[in-house]
Amino acid sequence: MNILQNITVLGSTGSIGVSTLDVIRRHPERYRVFALCAHSQLEKLFEQCCEFRPRFAVLRDAPLASLLAERCRAAGLDTEVRHGIEALIELSSLPEVDAVMAAIVGAAGLEPTLAAARAGKKIMLANKEVLVMAGELFMRAVRESGASLLPVDSEHNAIFQALPTDFARGLTACGVRRILLTASGGPFRNTPLADLQGVTPEAACAHPNWVMGRKISVDSATMMNKGLEVIEAHWLFAAPPERIQVVVHPQSVIHSAVDYADGSVLAQLGNPDMRTPIAYALAYPERIEAGVEPLDLFKIGRLEFFDPDFERFRCLQLAYDVLHQGGTAPAILNAANEVAVAAFLDRQLPFLGIARLNEEVLSKVQAGPEGSLADVLAADAEARQVASRLIKECRFA
Ligand code: NAD
Ligand code: MG
C-alpha cells in the first residue's frame, strides 16, 4: 500500500508529536501532514508549519491563533489557522483525514480522539488518558465505526506485536495466560522512602531511560503511569486486571510480553525510542525505517526483573482498585492525578502528596456508571474541583 496518507497530529509540539513528525519526515512518499494541533507553543508550531506545510494548524486560544495566522501569511504559507476544541474535533474527523496521531496529554485529548473513533479513522493512540477516562465508550465507538486502533504507548505496542492478529476473539481463545507489562520503575525505584517527600519536579522529570513530556515523567516517577497503562491494557486487549502482571524491568529493553498457555513468552525488544512504536503504527502492517539505533544486546549485557513495590508506589495500587470498581472511578483518579501532578510541578504539592491527594479524591467523589460522555466529563469536573479545593486547603503540605 503506497498511497499518500493524510495525517492529523494532535499534540504536534510535544514529545510524541515531534517524534511522529520525525518519522513522517523520512517518508514523504507515504505521509502528508494534514493538520498540526498544539496548545500554545506558537513558535514551535510555526516552524513545523514552515517545514510540513499542513492544510490546517490549531492552537487553543483565538489570540495566539491570529498571531500564528499572521506569521503563516507573511511566510507565504496557505495553512489555515483555527483555534479551540471544535477545530480539534473537526480536524480529527474530516473525510480527507486518513489517520490521527492522538498525542495530546491528558483529558484534553478525549473529545477529538473520540471524534476520530466515531468517524472510523485509523487512530494511533498515545494519549492513554482517553482509555482511562472513557475506555468503554471509546472502544464501543471504535467497534461501531470500524476504526482501526493502533497502540503507540510502547508497552501496548509491544503487546499488540506479540499477540495474534485476531486477539479480539478473546485472550483465552488465543491461548494467552497473562500480559507482562514492563515498567522501568522510574527515577525513584531505589530512593529511600524518607527522601521521597522532598523530591523536586526536576528530579522527578529526569527519567533514566526515556525523554518525555513533564506530566508523563512525573507519572513514571509515581508509577501512576504504569497504573494508567494497566487500565489501558484492560481496554485495548479485553484483559481482566488479574491477567495483567506489572514487571519492573529497569533497562526498558523488553517493552512488554505475552505469556501463552503452552509456556511460550513472546516479547518485543528495542531501544527505548518512541519512534519505533510510532513507525509501527504509521505503517502497520508494514515496517518502515524510523531512525532508531539497532539494539546492541552486547552493550546492554543484562536484563533484570523485579516485583513492583505497591507500598512505595501507591498510585499503582489505586489504579488496580479503580479498575475493579469500574464506571467513572478511573476517570476520577485520572482527573485527580492531573490536578495533583500540575500542583507538584508548580511546587504546590510535595511528591508524596500526589498519591495522598488521589486517594482522598477517590474517597470523596462518588463514582457512577460510564453511561455517556457527559457522565465522564461530569465525574472529571467534580474530581478536579475537589482536588483543587483540597490543595488550596493545604491538606497535603
Ligand atoms: P507533551 O507534554 O510533551 O506534549 C503534549 C502535547 O499536547 C503538546 O503538543 C501540547 O501543545 C498539546 N496539548 C496539551 N494540551 C492541549 C490542549 N488543551 N489542546 C491542544 N493541544 C494540547 O506530552 P507527551 O510526552 O508527548 O505525551 C503525550 C501523550 O502521549 C500523553 O498522553 C502521554 O501519556 C502519552 N505517551 C507519551 C510517551 C512519551 O514518550 N512521551 C510515551 C507513551 C505515551
Ligand atoms: Mg508506556
What is the DSSP track for 107-132? Answer: GGGHHHHHHHHHTT-EEEE--THHHH
Residue with CA nearest ligand 1 atom 5 = 14
Quote the pLDDT of residue 394.
Answer: 78
Residue with CA nearest ligand 1 atom 17 = 39
Residue located via cell numbers 496518507: 5
Write the CB contacts of 272 (distance below 8 Å, at least 6 apart in sequence): 154, 209, 210, 252, 253
| CATH fold of the domain at 160-272+307-393 | Rna Polymerase Sigma Factor; Chain: A (1.10.1740)
151 lines ligand 1 (CB under 6 A): no
Ligand 1 atom index nearest CA of 13: 9
Per-residue pLDDT tens, the chain, 397 aa: give them: 458 999 999 999 999 999 999 999 999 999 999 999 999 999 999 999 999 999 999 999 999 999 999 999 999 999 999 999 999 999 999 999 999 999 999 999 999 999 999 999 999 999 999 999 999 999 999 999 999 999 999 999 999 999 999 999 999 999 999 999 999 999 999 999 889 999 999 999 998 888 899 999 999 999 999 999 999 999 999 999 999 999 999 999 999 999 999 999 999 999 999 999 999 999 999 999 999 999 999 999 999 999 999 999 999 999 999 999 999 999 999 999 999 999 999 999 999 999 999 999 999 999 999 989 999 999 999 999 999 999 999 777 6
Question: Residue 260: which H helix or E strand, with range?
Answer: strand 254-260
Quote the pLDDT of residue 239.
Answer: 98
103 lines ligand 1 (CB under 6 A): yes
Quote the pLDDT of residue 397.
Answer: 66
CA of 54 to the centre of ligand 2 (A): 29
Residue ranges at the known binding site for 1-deoxy-D-xylulose 5-phosphate: 128, 154-155, 184, 207, 220, 225-226, 229
Quick check: 176 and 261 in contact, CB under 8 A? yes
Domain with CATH 3.40.50.720 in the chain: 5-151
Quote the pLDDT of residue 210.
Answer: 84
Domain with CATH 1.10.1740.10 in the chain: 160-272+307-393
Quote the pLDDT of residue 207.
Answer: 84
Q: Say which CATH superfamily domain 5-151 falls into.
A: NAD(P)-binding Rossmann-like Domain (3.40.50.720)
Ligand nearest to the CA of 125: 1
Quote the pLDDT of residue 253.
Answer: 98
Q: Which pTM value belongs to this model? A: 0.98
42 lines ligand 1 (CB under 6 A): no
Q: Rounded to whole angstroms, how far apart are CA atoms 64 and 59?
A: 7
Across the beta sheet with 80-83, the strand order is: 80-83, 56-59, 31-37, 5-10, 99-102, 122-125, 148-151
